Amino acid sequence: MLTHKILGLDVGSKTVGIAISDLMGWTAQGLDTLRIDEKNNEFGIDKLVKVIKENNVGTVVIGLPKNMNNSVGFRGEASLHYKELLQEALPNIEIVMWDERLSTMAAERSLLEADVSRQKRKKVIDKMAAVFILQGYLDSI
């Protein structure tokens, strides 16, 4: 059993999908979608710090979007920058970058299979992608 929960993040330019583990570290559940504005340097770090403290989180897993050739592109650089901002705010939290190349596609596919309407998919896709990122990490440990 874990002594703390693990948070999963899917960082985009306008939203950050948030998922959280159970205390056993077995399953990831969608928690929230944080509105951010990358262009105006509004990253929601204060809100995220509050979520982390309220939920007794000890580790944060951030999806690292890589290109299929394993290189890190613009979105990957943005995720690494987000990690730096969060680490500055919470220097004692472990932050892990997790290869998330297929998480958004997997989330989209599972929502399509569940016959979720396009409007509803748009609202939950980031949170679902965060669940896939966190579940992949949990399955690996």
> 67-92 pLDDT, tens per residue?
778 888 888 999 999 999 999 999 99
Q: What is the number of structural domains in the chain?
A: 1
DSSP state of 94: E
What stretch of H or E contains 122? helix 118-140
Structure pTM?
0.87
pLDDT < 50 regions, the chain: none
Residue 62 and residue 82: Cα distance in Å, rounded? Answer: 9
Structural domain range at position 69? 5-139
Could you tell me the CATH number of the domain that includes residue 100?
A: 3.30.420.140
Beta-sheet pairing, 28-35 with 57-64: unpaired
> 101-110 pLDDT, tens per residue?
666 666 667 7
